[in-house]
Amino acid sequence: MKKIILGLAVILILYLSSYLFLGGFFLGYQNGHAVIYKYTCADICPQYGYWGRKFAGEISENECLQIGGKSEYVTYAGVAEHAYNGCSPK
């Protein structure tokens, strides 16, 4: 029984540490890219943020479209322009 509990504890620690290394909780792979679940916000955090699925790493807008993703944009308070904020799976 102790081995099972220890094994589950190790798995839990490894899973939670994925947040540190990938910037979010690892969910799996899609189109050859790691998909993570992360909290995203602009300049007013945490009130105007959200949890969502995103591809891990720096992916350009063009690469996002090539892998079948959806480009995400963020609007900062008082600014009309949108800034590219990564790529999420469709």
Q: How far does Cα 82 stand from its chain's mean position?
A: 19
* pLDDT band per the 50, 70, 90 thresholds, residue 81: low
| Residue pLDDT, tens place only, 47-79 | 777 889 999 988 999 999 999 999 988 777 666
Residue 26: pLDDT above 60? yes
C-beta atoms surrounding 53 within 10 Å: 16
Task: List C-alpha distances in Å: 84 to 26, 40, 58, 64.
Answer: 22, 12, 11, 11
Locate the domains of the chain by residue range.
Answer: 2-89
Q: For 72-89, what is the mean pLDDT?
A: 78
Contact 75, 42 (CB under 8 A): yes
Contact 56, 36 (CB under 8 A): yes
Can you give the pTM of this predicted structure? 0.73
